[in-house]
Amino acid sequence: MTASLLGMYRPGTTVVHRLAVGPKLATLAAFAVAVTLLRGPWSALCFLAAAVAVALWARIGVRATARAMRPILFLATVFAGFQLWRVGWPLAVEVAGDLLSLVLLAVVVTATTPTDDVIDAITRACEPLRRFGVDPERVGLAIALMMRAVPDILDIASQTRDAAKARGLERDPRALLVPLALRTVARARATGDALAARGIVDD
């Protein structure tokens, strides 16, 4: 089983550890917006360098982080290879760099913040939206499910890669992406059915 990317909290005394969860999440959101708005391979490489610098500053462990990022490196390689084949190297570098930088910074946030604190902060932030029909508790539940689902999806990706490699199709994007998408959707449907059966969400 791959190491969990989310929920791998590691206690520490760095500035990043001591920073409140609110500013951490706000910084992550601003970073995601910047990654989305700024296009091109060079900006993607700059974002990736910034994420690596923050990870080193937070001292969350180079070996553990590299081990946890291994499935994402695989996905980034698959996506980059597909874009290289269809479009060209600039978009391939952009896709891989943006994906790796976003996930790495998210790993830093979760590695320096207890998972319960992250979920509680998001739930509190959604409280003013209750007047508009938003249920903060359901938002917190969705975030918790997402944080639990990411490692499972990465495991599915690893199993899909191994299956494609066993058939000699590791270089075929369709042999990797199609089974990954189908199994991920099936897992999401099974999770939804389980929640509905327990009366937690509407069917």
* Better-predicted residue by pLDDT, 5 or 165: 165
Query: Rounded distance, CA 112 to CA 42, Å?
Result: 28
Q: What is the mean pLDDT of residues 166-188?
A: 79
Residue 12: pLDDT over 50: yes
Q: What is the mean pLDDT of residues 65-74?
A: 79
pLDDT at 1: 37
pLDDT at 164: 81
Instruction: For tokens 């327990």, name the residue.
Output: 198
Q: For 96-120, how does the pLDDT look when each residue is reduced to its tens digit (9 = 90+)?
A: 999 999 989 988 888 888 878 888 8
Q: What is the mean pLDDT of residues 79-108?
A: 88
